[in-house]
Amino acid sequence: MENAAPGISSQMNHTYPLQKKLIIYFIGFTAALAGLLFGLDIGVISGALPFVKNAFKLSVESEGTVVSALLWGAVIGTLISGILSSKLGRRKTILVSALIFVIGSILCAISPSEHLLIGARLFLGVAVGVASFTAPLYLSEISPQKVRGSHRAQISEDLCVMQARSLHLAGRTRGLAINLNCR
C-alpha cells in the first residue's frame, strides 16, 4: 500500500494489533476535540453575553459585533487553513490552531475594552475555522478505512453536544447577570 497514510502500514488489513487500534482511536478522539471546542466557543457567548454587556456597557450593535466576531474569524480561518495545512502539514496546523485557541481564550478573559474583546474573539474564530477544516481532514488521513466515517461523525456529534450544553448552561445562568457585577 503505497498510498497509505504515514504511520499506518496497511489500512486494508483488518487485523490490527490492540496497541495500534488504541493509538488510532486516541488520535481520533483527540482530533475530534476540535468539534467540542467549536461548539463550546459558539455556544458559550449566549451565557456570557449578559455579563459582557454589563461589564462593557455594550449597545445592541456592539453585542452583535461581539457575537459575530468569532464567526467572521472562523470564515477567515477556514480560508487560510488549506494553505496552512499544505505548508505545515495537518498535525502541525492543528497544533497551531490549539495555540491560537489558548491565546485567544486568554485575551478574551483579560480584555479591558470591548474593542480588544472583539479582536480576541475574531482571533479565536480563526482557530475555530482552522480546526473545523483541518481536524476532519487529518482524521480521514490517519483513520483506517474501516472506521473512517465514525471518526468524522464524532466531530459533528461533539459540536452538537457542546452547543446544546452551552445553551443549557446559558439558560441556567441568565438570571445571574442581573445580580452579579463582573468587573
Sign of CA dihedral 93, 123, 98, 141: negative
User: What does pLDDT average to over the chain?
Assistant: 76
Mean pLDDT, contiguous 10-residue spans, the chain (183 residues):
46 61 73 70 79 91 92 93 92 91 93 95 93 81 66 56 58 47 39
What pTM did the predictor assign? 0.68
Domain residue ranges in the chain: 18-178
A 10 A CB-CB count for 120 gives: 23
pLDDT score, position 148: 58
Specify the CATH number of the domain 18-178: 1.20.1250.20
